Copies of this chain bind each other. A is one copy, B any other.
């Protein structure tokens, strides 16, 4: 049976969203159909407002509704540390974890020659600019723990080669906390072995 047109159309659009398949799109469309009309009006408006009122921060590349973003303009953040991430999603995850209070720089892509991908033009220049203009003394390269992330990490490091006073670091790899050795893959186990922490007998 062909579903009624307006229903089919919404499902088709919802299915383009990440992680949404036929069945979940159908459940969502149903929910909206059964919810009070105010909900769909609000939702429609929120989608339109997102594109209209949001942009990326001209300094760091974060998602924002003002220039500069509320991280770059926050006087309480530590301006000596700069965390370099591949995408805004990574920035948000680190922020949500609440484990960092310095500044960020969003590269906006990865280096991945096999997929023909590279960092957007001017991305590394923007980073160097931010370091030179600010009081940055450490750059933490927080790229994702996979091949493209490693290549991106090396691209960032080589762009910063001249800056000998700058401390450079990357996130450590190892067993995910709360996970189990049984389910860890061998590459992770290898990393956990290689970068094992030596402890004194007293601990």
Interface residues of A (CB under 8 A from B): 1-7, 9-10, 13-14, 16-20, 24, 26-33, 35, 37, 39-54, 63-66, 69-71, 88-89, 92, 95-96
Residues B13 and A39 in contact, CB atoms below 8 Å apart: yes
Contact of A33 among B3, B45, B50 (CB under 8 A): B50
Listed A/B pairs (5) with beta-carbon separation below 8 Å = A4-B53, A4-B64, A7-B54, A33-B50, A44-B47
A44 CA to B48 CA, complexed, in Å: 7
Residues A27 and B32 in contact, CB atoms below 8 Å apart: no
A117 to chain B, nearest CB (A): 15
Specify how many copies of this chain sit in the oligomer: 2
Residues A6 and B44 in contact, CB atoms below 8 Å apart: no
Residues B41 and A48 in contact, CB atoms below 8 Å apart: yes
A30 CA to B63 CA, complexed, in Å: 9
A24/B19 contact (C-beta < 8 A), A13-B39, A39-B13 known: yes
A166 to chain B, nearest CB (A): 25
Residues B6 and A33 in contact, CB atoms below 8 Å apart: no
Chain B residue contacts of A5, Cβ below 8 A: 53, 65
Chain B residue contacts of A13, Cβ below 8 A: 39, 42-43, 46
Residues B6 and A49 in contact, CB atoms below 8 Å apart: yes
A3 to chain B, nearest CB (A): 7
A89 CA to B31 CA, complexed, in Å: 10
Chain B residue contacts of A42, Cβ below 8 A: 13
